[in-house]
Amino acid sequence: MKQGTATIPPGEGSATADERSIDGAAPDDVVAVPLRHPWRWVGAGLLALGFAALASSLWENPNIDHATISSFVFNPRILNGVGLTLILTVVAMVVSTILGVLLAIMRLSKNPVMNAFAWFYVWVFRGTPLLIQIVFWGYLGLLYAQISLGIPLTELTAFSIDTNTLVPAFTAGLLAMTLNQAAYSAEIIRGGMLSVDTGQHEAASSLGMSPTFTLFRVVLPQAMRVIIPPMGNETISMLKNTSLLSVIAVLELYTVATQISSQNLRQVELLVVVSCWYLFLTSILAIPQYYLERHYGKGNSRQLAPTPLGRISAAWRRTPGHPVPKGTQP
């Protein structure tokens, strides 16, 4: 029996993926429709509405004097407090990072004495509240009226000075924050060093590199990718923790604002001023952290995420009237 070929007429019904002509003709391409998420927009709208209501209630609150806020934002006393806050933050972080590297090396050392000392240091300073440590250093003169240097078990003294003269409030606060942060920095740096594969140590040793050279040229550069994010967070926490120094009368930002509010009785307005400055300073500190993370993350990803300026530039090129240059991707 002779078999003929049969085809499906093009206009009959709707064609599916399985309905093909016997001669092998391909069906039409399937158009993919993206899945819609209407509840996302509903949730975003509710959040925006709640934020707008909160902002409006604060702005129109008759108990807040906006003139007082604007007059004290750049007040010389406030600016002096901001400067002292930045000095405390930078000096404490730099010194504590150096101490943290030394403590991390001691924790990883095979010397039991050095290992035990580093463990004890971290245990003490990480296990007691920072506020208590600040008060302790602030009242060090009650424990030692004089700080002397001489030969033990004899009355021979080469140097002696009053404790409150040697350790004023600023120095006491700086010591407390530096020594406390060194314990946290040590654990962060130790974790970063442990994240480097042991094969890197073996390769450096096989090339004849000394342990010190291996540490600073092989291990630490690779560990920075793990160290930078938590250390950036610790820097921001250090900036905010300077407000605790008000208990020993260090004239940082919060202490100055408290003194001013005790005179004009505008506590809420001065708290707003202080909050604005802390938000500004923490935002500034986040910028170098971002670029450091991006720099040390080069070997971890094929393509780095665009910088904020790069995103702005790409968005500008996508606007009408600004054609995308050849060879670039919008």
Which sequence spans correspond to the domains of the chain?
65-144+161-297
Mean pLDDT, residues 12-40 taken together: 63
Q: Please state the rounded mean pLDDT for residues 54-60.
A: 87
| Ranges 2-16, 240-254, 313-327: which has the least confidence | 2-16
Query: Is it the case that residue 192 has pLDDT exceeding 80?
Result: yes
Residue 120: which pLDDT band, with cuts at 50, 70 and 90?
very high
The DSSP string of 185-207 is: HHHHHHHHHHTS-HHHHHHHHHT
Identify the pLDDT of residue 1: 46
Residue 308's pLDDT band (boundaries 50, 70, 90)? Answer: low
Q: What angle do CA 252, 256, 260 make, to 5 degrees?
A: 175
Mean of per-residue pLDDT scores for the chain = 84
Confidence class for position 94, pLDDT limits 50, 70, 90: very high
List the beta bridge partners of residue 157.
150
Res. 64 pLDDT band, cuts 50 70 90:
confident
Q: What is the structure's pLDDT at 205?
A: 86
**Angstrom distance (rounded) from CA 224 to CA 293:** 8
Domain 65-144+161-297 belongs to what architecture?
Answer: Orthogonal Bundle (1.10)
267-296 helix and 220-241 helix, angle to the nearest 10 degrees? 180
pLDDT for residue 263 is more than 80 = yes
Report pLDDT for 2: 47
Residue 238 has pLDDT above 80, yes or no: yes
Give the mean pLDDT of 120-130.
96
Lowest mean pLDDT among 101-105, 123-127, 213-217, 231-235: 213-217
Lowest mean pLDDT among 69-83, 132-146, 305-319: 305-319
Tell me the pLDDT band of 91, cut-offs 50, 70 and 90: very high
Cβ pair 163, 147 in contact under 8 A: yes
Q: CA 5, CA 21: separation in Å to the nearest integer?
A: 9
C-beta separation of 283 from 308 below 8 A: no
Could you tell me the pLDDT band of residue 26, with boundaries at 50, 70 and 90? low
pLDDT value for 210: 87
pLDDT of residue 245: 95
Whether residue 42 has pLDDT greater than 70: yes
